[in-house]
Amino acid sequence: MATYPFGSGRPDPASFPNRELGEAAMRVLPEMGNQLALYPGSLGYQPLRQLMADRLLKREGMAPAVDEIALSNGSMQGVTLMAQMFIEKTGDGVIMEEFSYSGTIGAYKKEGAELIGIPVDEHGMRMDALADELKTRADKGNLPKFIYVLATFQNPTGSVMPLERRKELLKIAGQYELPVVEDHCYADTVYEDYYVPSLYTLPSDVPVVHIESLSKILGPGVRLGCFFTKQPLLGQILSLRRDGGTSTLAAAVVHEYFRENLWTHVDKINSIVKEKRDLMFELLGQYPEVFEWFSRPKGGLFIWIKLPDATDRVKCEQIAEDRGVDYATGAAFHVHGSDVPYLRLAFGYASLQEIQKGIPILADCVREAQN
């Protein structure tokens, strides 16, 4: 692992509740009866689905029925299932932000989709650009199959789409009858007041599929997330699921821990990660000639940095690697892999000390990579 790990989106490792999960396992596993000898089913362990519903109700004021929620292998399985659901043949289009999560880009390309990148600003996907794109495509009889959007703490840009724009998005989607997939995996990593209602809570003429993750507040190693939408779409998506279901063992242990500790845990890790974010911004601010940030995210795990146009990105990456600084390149988040003058810094995983030392080193790397 890199000395300065700013690459992957991971939570704070020091606050991971290893011992508490062990204790939770010791409490719950002996009481599991025959449940681990059964297949989890396509929805999965009921108590964790109930906890997910309670969490949504508290956060969004509105939750789906417990039997409309399906547990999944992180949010990633949900993301992938949506492509299997909506992409019927090679070349079927999917609308995304021009910069989006690299995992989604990879999964949807693999499924044969045409990725249609809509330009973004500091408030997320631009609705004027979306309307233009869809009008052009409608005129040609070449409409895409669905819209994938990271409306809250967008990855990589950190933006939050304002309420009015969300309503506009749903209106446009309704106009062209396009289902909307809302990847909401960063919704609990919050450092400043930001709240905007999820798309699924807003009136809509088209189905909204909502995807959640526990990877960002607990850890990606547990591989737990969930997704939900209304019937009959939910059943159609679940019929594509061919993995036997989500681990009841992992779900039961995590449920037992979160049963009493969810919000305490979330508050605790958010206050730790906030400190890291603040320090990273403070340090980035000391190098205005090399770092320009796209937005100052109130949540999520990333800062999207615009580099000077004259930066030799390959050289920069090599120097950084030599000096132990890991970051994600801008191209990884561009829907067509274009070599854009950006990089993404993750602030959740590295320690304060690593951030303190690593950002000045990264500044040197960028400076030395100018043409």
Residues that bind a second copy (CB under 8 A): 8, 10-14, 16, 18-19, 21-23, 25-40, 73-74, 76-77, 79-80, 103, 106-107, 110, 215, 218-224, 239-240, 242-250, 253-254, 349
CA dist 286 and 308 (Å) reads 15
DSSP 308: P
Q: How far is the CB of 27 from a second copy (least distance, A)?
A: 8
Q: Which is nearer to a second copy, 37 or 310 (CB)?
A: 37
* Helix/strand/coil for 58: helix
Tell me whether the omega of the peptide bond preceding residue 162 falls within 30 degrees of 0, making it cis.
no
Q: How far is the CB of 19 from a second copy (least distance, A)?
A: 4
Residues 40, 247 contacting (CB under 8 angstroms): yes
Nearest to 346 by CA among 220, 199, 250, 226: 220
Q: Which is nearer to a second copy, 101 or 200 (CB)?
A: 101
Q: Which is nearer to a second copy, 165 or 184 (CB)?
A: 184
Q: How far is the CB of 135 from a second copy (least distance, A)?
A: 32
Q: Which is nearer to a second copy, 27 or 306 (CB)?
A: 27
Q: Which is nearer to a second copy, 79 or 170 (CB)?
A: 79
Q: What is the Cα 151 distance to its own chain's centre?
A: 10
Q: How far is the CB of 81 from a second copy (least distance, A)?
A: 9
Q: Which helix (H) or strand (E) segment is 175 a member of? A: helix 163-175
Q: How far is the CB of 249 from a second copy (least distance, A)?
A: 5
Q: How far is the CB of 201 from a second copy (least distance, A)?
A: 27
Q: How far is the CB of 185 from a second copy (least distance, A)?
A: 11
CA dist 99 and 82 (Å) reads 19
* Helix/strand/coil for 99: strand
Q: How far is the CB of 319 from a second copy (least distance, A)?
A: 25
Q: Which is nearer to a second copy, 21 or 160 (CB)?
A: 21
Long-range contact list for 302-305, CB < 8 A, 24+ apart? 302/9, 302/155, 302/156, 302/157, 302/158, 302/344, 302/345, 302/346, 302/347, 303/158, 303/277, 303/344, 303/345, 303/347, 304/99, 304/156, 304/157, 304/158, 304/342, 304/344, 305/342, 305/343, 305/344, 305/345
CA dist 144 and 355 (Å) reads 42
Q: Which is nearer to a second copy, 33 or 288 (CB)?
A: 33
Q: What is the Cα 251 distance to its own chain's centre?
A: 20
Q: Which is nearer to a second copy, 129 or 272 (CB)?
A: 272
CA dist 80 and 347 (Å) reads 26
